[in-house]
């Protein structure tokens, strides 16, 4: 990875797994909605050859600042580990913790960045989820993070932005609750990064989505066990 940020002030981190078809629409959405200097880093698993080949093909044809990192696959904490890797090896002052099933709306970045004041290090974006806590600004699934906040780590792991003990779900809950406990959380209602989740009729289901309930059941005890650390 090129660790120097050059003219980029923002790094968008996108862990990916078995959704090669999402590369093109994700990049198109990000580039159309983000004129500010930024670079995009896909983080794939070494066994996911279709995804690796698609990102490599696309980056070879695109003039955008896009790169690919490949890590050994992990059964638990794969998303968090991929985020943590780029957070630790990048240097941009702002990081966006993304995913492949997002659609960026114009103005999302300046709206989120404007909230990073007065000790705030984590800004939740508006994912347009039809849930009470998302609409109320109490929770978000994707975040803009100030570089200074990365150094604070999780509630008990300096140097790790996300706890890697969750299969996937609940990692965002711990991240939000930890930031709130530090009085470092804000929600940017005008920063719309739409989550194209099938539960809201915005994408078809696949094997990863179908495993959500099982992962939720496995992650919930981890969250409950760790909640005393920030509560």
CATH number assigned to the domain comprising residue 45? 3.90.550.10
- Residue 195 covered by a domain: yes
Contacts of the segment 134-137: beta carbons below 8 A, 24+ positions apart: 137/187, 137/189
- Residue 179 covered by a domain: yes
Q: Give, for 12, the enclosing helix (H) or strand (E).
A: strand 10-15
Q: Where are the alpha helices (DSSP H) in the chain?
A: 23-33, 49-61, 78-89, 108-113, 132-135, 147-150, 171-181, 207-210, 212-226
Q: Give, for 193, the enclosing helix (H) or strand (E).
A: strand 185-195
- Residue 70 covered by a domain: yes
Per-residue pLDDT of the chain (231 residues; tens, 9 = 90+): 444 445 789 999 999 999 999 999 999 999 999 999 999 999 999 999 999 999 999 887 777 799 999 999 888 999 999 999 999 999 999 999 999 999 999 999 999 999 999 999 999 999 998 888 888 889 999 999 999 999 999 999 998 999 999 998 999 999 999 999 999 999 999 999 999 987 777 777 866 766 778 989 999 999 999 999 999
pLDDT in the model for residue 206:
67
How far apart, in whole angstroms, are the C-alpha atoms of residue 173 and residue 227? Answer: 10
The total number of residues shown for the chain amounts to: 231
For residue 114, the enclosing domain spans 10-229
- Residue 69 covered by a domain: yes
pLDDT in the model for residue 3:
44
- Residue 147 covered by a domain: yes
- Residue 2 covered by a domain: no
Q: Compute how many other C-beta atoms are within 10 angstroms of the C-beta atom of residue 159.
A: 12
- Residue 37 covered by a domain: yes
How far apart, in whole angstroms, are the C-alpha atoms of residue 197 and residue 200? Answer: 6
Structural domain total, the chain: 1
- Residue 3 covered by a domain: no
Tell me if the pTM is above 0.75. Answer: yes
């Amino acid at each position: 990875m090129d660790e120097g940020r050059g003219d980029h002030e923002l790094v968008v981190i996108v862990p990916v797994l078995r959704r090669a078809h999402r590369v093109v629409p994700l990049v198109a959405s990000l580039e159309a909605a983000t004129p500010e200097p930024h670079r995009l880093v896909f983080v794939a698993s070494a066994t996911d050859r279709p995804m690796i080949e698609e990102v490599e093909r696309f980056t070879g044809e695109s003039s955008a600042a896009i790169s690919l990192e490949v890590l050994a696959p992990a059964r638990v904490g794969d998303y968090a580990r991929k985020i943590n890797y780029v957070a630790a090896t990048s240097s941009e002052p702002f990081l966006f913790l993304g995913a492949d099933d997002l659609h960026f709306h114009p103005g999302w970045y300046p709206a989120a960045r404007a909230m990073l004041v007065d000790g705030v290090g984590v800004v939740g974006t508006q994912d347009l989820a039809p849930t009470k806590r998302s609409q109320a600004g109490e929770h978000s699934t994707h975040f803009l993070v100030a570089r200074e906040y990365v150094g604070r780590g999780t509630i008990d792991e300096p140097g790790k932005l996300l706890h890697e003990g969750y299969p996937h779900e609940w990692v965002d809950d711990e991240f939000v609750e930890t930031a709130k406990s530090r009085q470092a959380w804000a929600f940017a209602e005008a920063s719309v990064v739409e989550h194209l989740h099938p539960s809201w009729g915005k994408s078809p289901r696949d094997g990863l989505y179908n495993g959500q309930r099982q992962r939720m059941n496995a992650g919930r005890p981890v969250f409950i066990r760790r909640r005393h650390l920030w509560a």
